[in-house]
């Protein structure tokens, strides 16, 4: 009995080891012939990436209808020109759409006036004059304009050319003149134009003799003026003119009174302002 027990103890450890060591592998001997390269295990490892459930594709949303654009007067060109020096962007627009190509508004009426102030002296006779002559102009077309106007002028003449003075003589004459007129202008080329006007003026003179005697006289002067001028525009509304006119009636009557309130030649600086929107 004791012998069987001892034998079982000797056999049991080995059997136990044989049953429990299941993970170890026996070493493999290299049985390849000398000089042969060992074979490497190149099989990829098993994938460890997690797997996901597949999703079903949803049906697309219905398209939202887009309203058609409103119609336009002129369709856009189908082919745009290539960029060049004059048109770097290469874009072309319908004619008249840019602000630079928009025609300027045609203003028919304008205010046309001149202011006069001067002093002249000749052979002992000095003359001071001041005046204003506003007018309303109407543009018949791009070149031709007409209009009515009024005028007022003050003239003071002093005589001191008598040596020795004879008596009696008119020492000074003062004029207050009021007139109505009509003018016409025609543009020749660019800013150069022809100008003509006809004026009827009431001359109210007051003369003083060297003796102190005062006399008054009234007369009517009919004056025709014609000449040319140049216009300088400062904006689309405001401009200034310089006009040189020939006076066809610049004499004096038999008593020494003037037949026209203007000199020879008549030089004016006029101002123009277009009215309306």
Query: pLDDT digits over 73-97, tens only?
Result: 655 555 656 666 666 665 555 555 4
Q: What is the pLDDT of residues 32-61, one digit of tens each?
A: 555 555 555 555 555 565 666 655 666 677
Rounded to whole angstroms, how far apart are CA atoms 143 and 75?
A: 36
pTM equals 0.56
Domains of the chain: 109-274 (2.40.160.20)
pLDDT for 234 equals 93
Average pLDDT over residues 182-204: 94
Q: What pLDDT does 3 receive? A: 44
Residues above pLDDT 70, as percent of the chain = 58
User: Is a pLDDT exceeding 80 seen at residue 247?
Assistant: yes
Give me the pLDDT at residue 12, please. Answer: 47
Answer with the residue of higher pLDDT: 215 or 26: 215
């Amino acid at each position: 009995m004791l012998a069987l027990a001892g034998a079982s103890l000797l056999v049991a450890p080995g059997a136990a080891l044989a049953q429990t060591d299941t993970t170890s592998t026996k070493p493999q001997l290299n049985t390849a012939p000398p000089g042969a390269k060992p074979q490497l295990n190149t099989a990829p490892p098993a994938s460890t990436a997690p797997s996901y459930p597949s999703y079903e594709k949803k049906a697309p949303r219905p398209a939202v209808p887009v309203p058609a654009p409103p119609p336009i007067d002129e369709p856009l060109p189908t082919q745009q020109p290539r960029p060049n020096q004059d048109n770097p962007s290469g874009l072309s627009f319908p004619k008249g759409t840019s602000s630079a190509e928009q025609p300027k508004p045609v203003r028919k009426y304008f205010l046309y006036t001149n202011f006069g102030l001067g002093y002249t002296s000749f052979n002992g006779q000095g003359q001071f004059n001041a005046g204003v002559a506003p007018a309303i102009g109407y543009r018949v077309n791009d070149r031709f304009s007409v209009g009515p106007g009024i005028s007022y002028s003050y003239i003071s003449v002093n005589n001191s050319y008598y040596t020795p003075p004879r008596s009696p003589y008119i020492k000074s004459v003062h004029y207050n003149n009021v007139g109505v007129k009509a003018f016409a202008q025609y543009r020749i080329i660019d800013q150069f134009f022809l100008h003509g006007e006809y004026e009827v003026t009431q001359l109210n003179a007051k003369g003083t003799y060297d003796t102190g005697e005062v006399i008054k006289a009234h007369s009517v002067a009919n004056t025709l003026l014609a000449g040319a001028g140049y216009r300088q525009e400062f904006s689309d509304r405001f401009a200034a003119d310089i006009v040189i006119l020939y006076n066809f009636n610049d004499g004096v009557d038999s008593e020494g009174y003037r037949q026209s309130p203007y000199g020879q030649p008549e030089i004016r600086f006029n101002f123009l302002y277009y009215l309306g929107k």
